[in-house]
Amino acid sequence: MESNPLICVSICERSIGAIEQAIINASAFADVWEIRLDCVDQTQIQETFSALDNVLRKSLRPTILTYRPAQQGGKQELDKAARLKFWLIDRPASDSLLDIEFDLAIDPDLLDAGQILDWSRVICSHHDFNGVPAELVKLYSSMAQTPARILKIAVKANDSIDCLPVFDLLERAHEDGREMIAIAMGDAGVATRILGPSRGAFLTYGSPDDESATAPGQITARELREVYRVGKLDRQTEIFGLVGSPVSHSLSPRLHNAAFEATGTNAVYIPFEVRDLPAFIRRMAHPQTREIDWKMSGLSVTAPHKLAVMDQLDWIEPVAREIGAVNTILIDGKGLSGYNTDVIGFIRPLVEKLGNLSGLRSAVIGTGGAANAAVWALRNKGAQVTVFGRTAERAAALARKFGSDSRELVEARFDGFDLLVNATPLGTAGQFQSQTPVYAAQLRGARMAYDLVYNPIETQFLREARGAGCQTLGGMEMLIAQAIEQFRLWTGITAPEGVMRAAAQ
């Protein structure tokens, strides 16, 4: 391989025909294939080995052959004897790279096979699906003692801060002059998949499609190339991202990355799955304390951190402080500044739909950051607001904060309200998708229902509202409006609204 590949598509199929078709399907986005032979139906394995020679000869991309045992994330229970036999006797005769697990790479029978095995084509790999090993550097050093040309370490990230030791491995390998693949698996490790090549990784892995990921957190090769533009990222790329939990459902990366591309801005927007917010801000975001050398310049903040993040900031705009929630952070040499663009995002589509909001009889369901912004915005426009919450105490506290009324959500009825806002995460793609805070019977008599959830576009709440005869407004318009204001704050550039809208839709 003369040039360093960027995106490797992992192909996990049960037959040679399916492997060939997967190669064709992925050809537009892959720089290299990984053919996972442990995925092949073992009753067809010898037939597949024979036919694979011809497939590899016709391949227009470099190839990695992998025969992974179950304990390392493979699809078959393969003992050491079976794996040795494969690599020394059965494997197809090609110039492919060979992904061999560390436990096998130090086996004397393999080490003594110098005439049979070309170690310059070997990737020595190790996978840990439980977390980040305490002695990760020691593991790397041991693997570096093998004759393998390329090292690969993949660990499980449970929080975005678990990406830090993975990025450190890439730095260490660069200093040692070693070719390295280092990946944090899981949703919390996506940053390592996107930024790996720009920080020295030999390659990054992508799946052929949404259903065919071969490791936790693996995103599609198409997304890596078209949404995140991994081939265009470098050490000077500015880093922006979304901080929350969960974040994998978010469309914000599509909006902002499309806008960066359209405006020629060397920047990328990444989802950061964050549970320990203070640790993330301290170790990865704040310019005075972060433990990684990168140009992080701004963040979006979503549930459950919009209120808690305020304690981590150096300055907060008055409106955001009054609301009591921050959804946008600007990072510069002075520190972290907090803003709230949810207000603009929330109110703009509502005014376009209803016009003057003064005197509007409105109900807001929820007590979190989005609810705070919605209540403040409505009160600022002269609307009457009643806060509904599952907990009477929290609803009352939010209502008192902005001079509104409150009620319990249990068995609430909304007859007589001009507007009902769902400011909870219920209905969001994932574990909450089938849920709704209220049902059609409760909504009858309300004029309009506004769901701040945008993914999926058609939520259960909106279906219930239509069933009750209400007008409806989805969260996509709010998402786009607040993102436009975020983009302006971060870059000083007018956001390409048409580009962002097309990317979202």
> Which residues are the active-site residues?
306
Q: Per DSSP, what are the bridge partners of residue 64?
A: 34, 97
Written as one letter, the residue type at 7 is: I
Count CA atoms within 13 Å of residue 64 on its CB side: 29
Q: Which is nearest to 413 in space by CA: 369, 444, 457? A: 444
> Phi and psi of 265, rounded to 5°?
-95, 125
Structure tokens of 336?
């972290």
The DSSP string of 426-474 is TT-SSTTTT--SS-HHHHTT-SEEEE---SSSS-HHHHHHHHTT-EEE-
Contact of 139 with 126, CB cutoff 8 Å: yes
Report the C-alpha gap between 319 and 328 in whole angstroms: 12
Residue 42 burial (C-beta neighbours within 10 Å; 0-12, 13-18, 19+): middle
Q: Is 475 exposed, middle or buried (0-12, 13-18, 19+ CB in 10 A)?
A: buried
Using the Cα atoms of residue 198, residue 202, residue 204 and residue 207 in order, give the sign of their dihedral. Answer: positive
